[in-house]
Chain A
Amino acid sequence: NAGVTQTPKFQVLKTGQSMTLQCAQDMNHNSMYWYRQDPGMGLRLIYYSASEGTTDKGEVPNGYNVSRLNKREFSLRLESAAPSQTSVYFCASAGGLLNSGNTIYFGEGSWLTVV
């Protein structure tokens, strides 16, 4: 019962470095999401992928890129990290359209600090 698995769980980056957050789900879900969580701001959508082969921008996509590698995996890349990207990142997945009754499941989060 792994569900949604994110790696790494913790990471410290220097400004300008690049890194990729990995996410995999084993529930055969079609839709996958990347959110960031900042104090007092709830979760904000960075990118999502409604199905394999498609990706769409969310509320805060600047500074990020994503790849839907296959149905299981959805990675988030920071090309040139900035201190403003210090946050907790959550990957999530859902079986299909949320308004079709599908529930979204979250990973446990990745804590990223950019110094």
Chain B
Amino acid sequence: AQSVTQPDIHITVSEGASLELRCNYSYGATPYLFWYVQSPGQGLQLLLKYFSGDTLVQGIKGFEAEFKRSQSSFNLRKPSVHWSDAAEYFCAVDPGRRALTFGSGTRLQVQP
């Protein structure tokens, strides 16, 4: 069965530090890959998506993600974190069944 794993439940970084959130997927073929962010009490907002082509994709708010087929990974990165980036981040895949499968999420805390 298709699955998405986010191994880090909670991450704390200092403001201005770099960030990498991990995401691994299990699927027979290359799925369509997404990262969403959820601020407290809010819905989910799309940060970026990968369908094909260049394996490094740029998103909103200065985020980027790199698709690595050999590692079945789609890690999210940001060079310099801002306090407003504190939120929960979800990796998701569309394995072609018309709906997204989500990981369990990584909560990001930003220290001043």
A40 with B98: CB separation less than 8 A: no
Partner of A99, one of B9, B32, B36, B44: B32
Chain B count of residues within 8 A CB distance of the other chain:
25
How many A-B pairs have beta carbons closer than 8 Å: the answer is: 59
- Interface hub of B32, B43, B49, B92 (most chain A Cβ within 10 A): B43
Residues in A44-75 with C-beta less than 8 Å from chain B: 44-45, 48, 50, 56, 58-59
Query: Among A13-21, A77-85, A103-111, which stretch is in contact with chain B?
Result: A103-111
The proximity string for B residues 38-77 relative to A, scoring 1 for CB distances below 8 Å and 0 otherwise, is: 0001111110010100000000000000000000000000
Point out residues on B near A: beta carbons under 8 Å: 4, 6, 9, 32, 36, 41-46, 49, 51, 90, 92, 94, 96, 98-105
Which are the 10 A-B pairs with shortest beta-carbon distances? A106-B43, A42-B102, A98-B94, A43-B102, A42-B104, A106-B44, A108-B43, A48-B99, A99-B32, A45-B99
Point out residues on A near B: beta carbons under 8 Å: 4, 31, 33, 35, 40-45, 48, 50, 56, 58-59, 90, 97-99, 101, 103-109
